[in-house]
């Protein structure tokens, strides 16, 4: 059997249908489907993507059998249209367009008005009784054909047009009459003759053959290749070619063209939405030269056509079960549908339309869930810049935490707190942030740093706080000491106002208006459906009762990571912490720890209360101790200056002692140094204090009939013995405290899996651990040997050069780090079948990572409060998408 290479459509019938995108391309499949739905589509035929492949296989040549098949379909098209190509009386004009499986807007070529030549243009003038129209079509065709098929520059035609207009003193295109255009056609033809050395092809069949070949060739033009690379579109799928009868909305007052949506794409309201222009072409609507009318006016002007349009588009919406974005043309009173596709919409509209369509029984709840993307969900959770505002962008960094913020720039955390307390809105601007800046970040509207990446300190803390944040904005030259920041040749001082967009990474001069999208009732409805579908539990990373409560409102079902180190940076605690670190021996250390104990206990009580009834995973002290001490360089300078100004010897000595300890604790690579469980093993008194605070807090609440479920997590375990030794301490303290309070607490002791070795020996660790939680930030750092603070520029460069597709600190590296996770899950559950396993790295809120966690059979993901709804949605998507496959 001979393979079919051409698919005809028109007159309420079609050889193909809407699911044949592989073969017909998106546009061809859509045209076929619309024809089958008896929408008035201009007839035509689609040359399949297979032909494109054959074209390249045969060294850019079409076999005769296919040419013959094109001829047969052209005959059929002429019969349907009642016109013939090249006919001198009533010539058929054609459009020739590309159309691949995946949309590649503007990347490939299109030719309109094909079929015109020196003779048919006269016929067209006669049959339309509109010579101006005919010559206008012809000059456009020559220019388009010259550019696309003959590979001439667009600008040669454009400049010839401009010169002629200047010569005749013409300002507006509308002033160009038939005579003018006819002479322009002559000029254009001469340009072709001169440039190509041969006349513009007059034979419409030649024109068609050349146009089809040009579309195939455009598949491999450099910009199409680049687009495919950028968008992960395979190289070998080829494009189809759609040859279709031309229709014209510019043949007089009885003609028009328009675009529309079956529902409001901004609000989601069920209203027919769109606009049209009488006596115009599609490009006029887009160009914005004339102001189009709202589509409801069509109901008055042309009620019968309006009714037909509504009937057709309703049918399309019901058929496609989604909002349609359509294009139409009215040619001398006859309606033609040129295109229909799923309409893009705002997040708000997405939710309303999805919920409405469920109510209308058009789609199922699961489909409604899939309609809402996690990226859109993000829009609901942060203020954004009014889209109508003009942006004067001065720099662009990494969009670290979504939402927009406006405020006076401040370079110092304390100063930010002072001003915020006075009611000022401020932005904290720094080279980079560190734990000392947390209070300043909290007081600020948003955070902007010159250094750092997706998981730099600023980014992580800002996301946690739900603060808009832009990091790694390398164009900024921040001089914190001088209180100035220089960027793009401008200089801003403390108090100058900037606006940040944490969703795009843009930094703008001045104060832009913000709007807060509301969480409308429909969102709540859809999230309830989401929770019925998902299997993964969703927890949050929260260090304070405030964050815990916030996350709970967002739907968190527990805390997956409560870091305890931030608690020690509070103003009244840091000095005690420092004394503890500087202590000469264990007994002195224990003395200072005893001072910290009641404070920690209160911290935990607050968090347990905010999460009452839910599990709370508390991680014991993790960072290197020198993070709590002053920095080395500045301390050296301070001592040098004290000496110069002749400060008392005793003061200098004290500073020198401090410096000596800082030197002693200094590490070349603190990430790989004395931190995590190593602290609790070398200084067991720290773990004992923390365990005591946890269990005393739990017991005090349990006595008041509050339900508390502590899960104590040991960081940075790489050896089974590390976990065992810390678990022993915790179990001892737990027993002692429970006996003392005569209360029973159900608790678990588990471990982070964040060191590659832990994944490799997960079977041994599972013998001791009661749960695993993947610390994917550190696991990514160690697996790649990427310090998240130091490799921002490297990762950017790698992404630009396609060495890395995605930032592995934003989306989990499934092919590398993912292997370790898979191994740990397999080995861990192999040893302990019901081992509870979660993830608490920054990746926990990333949809692709959530999907992976679902697939790996994890019990929960944990993420910052503001990402909880996104994680819930992504978890439901993971279930539904797996069902589809």
Span interacting with a copy of itself, options 136-144, 148-156, 378-386, 715-723, rule CB under 8 A: 715-723
10 Å CB burial of residue 396 (0-12, 13-18, 19+) is: middle
Binding mask 815-834 for a copy of itself (x = CB under 8 A): xxx-xx--------------
Which H/E stretch holds residue 484? strand 484-487
465: left (phi over 0), alpha (psi -120 to 50) or beta: alpha
Q: CB 806 → a copy of itself: shortest distance, Å?
A: 12
- Cα 383 to Cα 250: distance, rounded to the nearest angstrom: 44
Residue 102 DSSP one-character state: S
Q: CB 817 → a copy of itself: shortest distance, Å?
A: 7
Please, how many CA atoms are within 13 Å of residue 233, restricted to the half-sphere of its CB?
Answer: 19
For tokens 């340009």, the residue is: 191
Residues 428-467 that bind a copy of itself (CB under 8 A): none
DSSP-based three-state secondary structure for 496: coil
Q: What are phi and psi of 64, to 5 degrees?
A: -60, -40
Span interacting with a copy of itself, options 104-112, 499-507, 596-604, 634-642, rule CB under 8 A: 634-642
Span interacting with a copy of itself, options 113-121, 255-263, 461-469, 633-641, rule CB under 8 A: 633-641
Q: Are 809 and 459 in contact (CB under 8 A)?
A: no
Closer to a copy of itself at the Cβ: 342 or 475?
Answer: 475
Binding mask 743-762 for a copy of itself (x = CB under 8 A): -----------xxxx--xx-
Q: CB 97 → a copy of itself: shortest distance, Å?
A: 36
Which is the catalytic residue, given 137, 614, 677, 840? 840
Beta-carbon contacts of 75 under 8 Å, excluding residues fewer than 6 positions away, are: none
Structure tokens at 813: 């590296």
Span interacting with a copy of itself, options 89-97, 303-311, 782-790, 862-870, rule CB under 8 A: 782-790
Which is the catalytic residue, given 5, 382, 457, 843? 457
Residues 653-712 that bind a copy of itself (CB under 8 A): 667-674, 676, 678, 681-682
CA angle 537, 543, 548 (to 5 degrees): 50
486 is a contact residue toward a copy of itself (CB under 8 A): no
Residue 520 DSSP one-character state: -
> CA of 170: how far to CAs of 83, 163, 483, in Å?
35, 10, 57
Structure tokens at 407: 């405020």
Closer to a copy of itself at the Cβ: 174 or 793?
Answer: 793
For tokens 């429909």, the residue is: 522
Q: CB 145 → a copy of itself: shortest distance, Å?
A: 41
411 is a contact residue toward a copy of itself (CB under 8 A): no
Residues 537-596 that bind a copy of itself (CB under 8 A): none
Closer to a copy of itself at the Cβ: 360 or 732?
Answer: 732
Which has the closest alpha carbon to 723: 757, 672, 689, 698? 757
765 is a contact residue toward a copy of itself (CB under 8 A): no
Q: CB 636 → a copy of itself: shortest distance, Å?
A: 5
Q: CB 639 → a copy of itself: shortest distance, Å?
A: 8
425 is a contact residue toward a copy of itself (CB under 8 A): no
In the chain, what is the straight-line distance between the N-terminal and C-terminal CA atoms, in Å? 32
784 is a contact residue toward a copy of itself (CB under 8 A): yes
Q: CB 441 → a copy of itself: shortest distance, Å?
A: 19
10 Å CB burial of residue 884 (0-12, 13-18, 19+) is: exposed
Structure tokens at 216: 């195939």
718 is a contact residue toward a copy of itself (CB under 8 A): yes
Which H/E stretch holds residue 393? strand 393-396
457 is a catalytic site residue: yes
Closer to a copy of itself at the Cβ: 450 or 523?
Answer: 450
> CA of 251: how far to CAs of 140, 247, 657, in Å?
15, 9, 91
17 is a catalytic site residue: no
Closer to a copy of itself at the Cβ: 443 or 629?
Answer: 629
The pairs formed by 190-199 with CB atoms below 8 angstroms and a separation of 24 or more are 191/146, 191/152, 191/156, 191/157, 191/160, 192/142, 192/146, 192/150, 192/152, 195/150, 195/152, 195/156, 196/150, 196/152
Q: Are 755 and 717 in contact (CB under 8 A)?
A: yes
Q: CB 774 → a copy of itself: shortest distance, Å?
A: 14
Q: CB 661 → a copy of itself: shortest distance, Å?
A: 13
Residues 788-817 that bind a copy of itself (CB under 8 A): 789-791, 793-794, 797-798, 801-804, 813, 815-817
Among 199, 721, 830, 857, binds a copy of itself (CB under 8 A): 721
Span interacting with a copy of itself, options 100-108, 515-523, 531-539, 775-783, rule CB under 8 A: 775-783
- Cα 29 to Cα 17: distance, rounded to the nearest angstrom: 6
Residues 329-348 that bind a copy of itself (CB under 8 A): none
Say how many residues touch a copy of itself, by CB under 8 A: 57
Closer to a copy of itself at the Cβ: 394 or 659?
Answer: 659
Q: CB 755 → a copy of itself: shortest distance, Å?
A: 4
- The residues that touch a copy of itself, with contacts defined as CB under 8 A, are 632-634, 636-637, 640-641, 644, 667-674, 676, 678, 681-682, 716, 718-719, 721-722, 725, 754-757, 760-761, 778, 781-787, 789-791, 793-794, 797-798, 801-804, 813, 815-817, 819-820
Active site residues: 457, 840
């Amino acid at each position: 059997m001979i393979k079919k290479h051409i698919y005809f459509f028109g007159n309420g019938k079609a050889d193909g249908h809407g699911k044949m995108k592989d073969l017909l391309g998106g546009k061809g499949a859509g045209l076929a489907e619309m024809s089958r739905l008896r929408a008035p589509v201009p007839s035509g035929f689609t040359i399949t993507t297979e032909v494109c492949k054959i074209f390249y296989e045969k060294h850019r040549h079409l076999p005769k059998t296919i040419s013959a098949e094109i001829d047969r379909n052209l005959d059929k098209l002429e019969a349907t249209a009642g016109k013939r190509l090249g006919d001198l009386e009533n010539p058929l004009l054609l459009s020739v367009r590309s159309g691949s499986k995946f949309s590649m807007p503007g990347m490939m070529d299109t030719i309109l008005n094909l079929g015109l030549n020196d003779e048919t243009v006269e016929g067209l003038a006669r049959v339309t009784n509109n010579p101006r129209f005919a010559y206008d079509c012809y000059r456009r065709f020559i220019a388009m054909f010259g550019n696309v098929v003959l590979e001439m520059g667009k600008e040669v035609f454009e400049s010839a047009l401009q010169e002629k207009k200047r010569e005749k003193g013409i300002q507006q295109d509308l002033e160009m009459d038939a005579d003018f255009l006819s002479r322009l056609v002559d000029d254009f033809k001469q340009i072709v003759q001169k440039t190509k050395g041969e006349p513009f092809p007059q034979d419409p069949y030649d024109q068609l053959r050349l146009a089809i070949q040009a579309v195939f060739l455009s598949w491999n033009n450099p910009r199409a290749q680049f687009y495919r690379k950028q968008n992960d579109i395979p190289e070998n799928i080829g494009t189809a070619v759609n040859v279709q009868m031309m229709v014209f909305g510019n043949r007089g007052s009885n003609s028009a063209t328009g675009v529309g949506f079956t529902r409001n794409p901004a609000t989601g309201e069920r209203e027919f939405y769109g606009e049209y222009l009488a006596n115009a072409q599609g490009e006029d609507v887009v160009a914005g030269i004339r102001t189009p009318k709202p589509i409801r006016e069509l109901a008055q002007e042309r009620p019968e056509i309006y009714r037909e349009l509504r009937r057709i588009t309703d049918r399309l919406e019901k058929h496609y079960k989604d909002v349609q974005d359509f294009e139409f043309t009215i040619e001398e009173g006859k309606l033609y549908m040129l295109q229909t596709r799923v309409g893009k919409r705002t997040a708000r509209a997405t939710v309303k339309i999805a919920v409405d369509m469920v109510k209308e029984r058009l789609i199922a709840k699961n489909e409604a869930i899939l309609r809402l993307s996690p990226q859109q969900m993000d829009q609901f959770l942060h203020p954004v810049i009014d889209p109508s505002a003009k942006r004067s962008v001065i720099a662009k960094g990494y969009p670290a935490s979504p939402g927009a913020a406006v405020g006076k720039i401040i370079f110092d955390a304390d100063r930010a707190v002072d001003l915020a307390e006075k009611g000022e809105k401020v932005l904290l601007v720094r080279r980079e942030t560190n734990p000392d800046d947390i209070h300043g970040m909290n007081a600020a509207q948003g955070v902007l740093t010159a250094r750092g990446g997706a998981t730099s300190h600023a980014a992580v803390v800002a996301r946690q706080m739900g603060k808009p944040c832009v990091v790694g904005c390398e164009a900024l030259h921040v001089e914190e000491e001088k209180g100035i920041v220089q960027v793009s040749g401008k200089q801003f001082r403390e108090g100058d106002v900037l606006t940040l967009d944490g969703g795009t990474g843009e930094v703008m001069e001045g104060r832009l208006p913000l709007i807060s999208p509301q969480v409308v009732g429909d969102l709540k409805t859809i999230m309830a459906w989401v929770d019925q579908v998902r299997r993964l539990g969703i927890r949050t990373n929260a260090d304070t009762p405030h964050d815990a409560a916030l996350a709970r409102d967002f739907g968190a079902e527990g805390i997956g990571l409560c870091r305890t180190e931030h608690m020690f940076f509070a103003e009244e605690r840091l000095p005690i912490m420092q004394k503890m670190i500087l202590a000469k021996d264990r007994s002195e250390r224990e003395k200072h720890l005893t001072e910290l104990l009641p404070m920690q206990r209160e911290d935990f009580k607050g968090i347990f209360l905010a999460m009452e009834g839910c599990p709370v995973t508390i991680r014991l002290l993790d960072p290197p101790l020198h993070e709590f001490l002053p920095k080395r360089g500045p301390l050296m300078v301070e001592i040098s200056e004290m000496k110069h100004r002749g400060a008392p010897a005793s003061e200098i000595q004290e500073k020198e002692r401090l410096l000596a300890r800082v030197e002693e604790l200094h590490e070349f690579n603190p990430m790989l140094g004395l931190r995590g469980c190593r602290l609790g093993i070398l200084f067991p008194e720290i773990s004992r204090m923390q365990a005591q605070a946890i269990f005393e807090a739990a017991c005090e609440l349990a006595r008041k009939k509050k339900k508390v479920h502590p899960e104590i997590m040991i960081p940075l375990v790489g050896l089974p013995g590390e976990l065992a030794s810390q678990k022993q301490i915790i179990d001892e303290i737990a027993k002692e405290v429970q006996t003392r309070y005569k209360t029973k607490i159900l608790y678990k002791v588990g471990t982070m899996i964040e060191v590659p070795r832990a994944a490799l020996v997960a079977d041994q660790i599972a013998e001791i651990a009661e749960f695993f939680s993947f610390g994917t930030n550190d696991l990514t750092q160690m697996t790649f040997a990427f310090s998240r603070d130091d490799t921002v520029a490297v990762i950017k460069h790698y992404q630009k050069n396609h060495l890395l597709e995605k930032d592995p600190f934003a989306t989990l590296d499934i092919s590398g780090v993912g292997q370790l996770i898979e191994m740990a899950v397999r080995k861990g559950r192999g040893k302990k079948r019901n081992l509870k396993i979660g993830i608490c790295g920054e990746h926990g809120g990333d949809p692709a990572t959530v999907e992976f966690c679902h697939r790996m059979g994890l019990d929960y993901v944990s993420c910052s409060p503001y990402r909880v709804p996104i994680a819930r949605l992504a978890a439901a998507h993971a279930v539904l998408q797996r069902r589809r496959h």
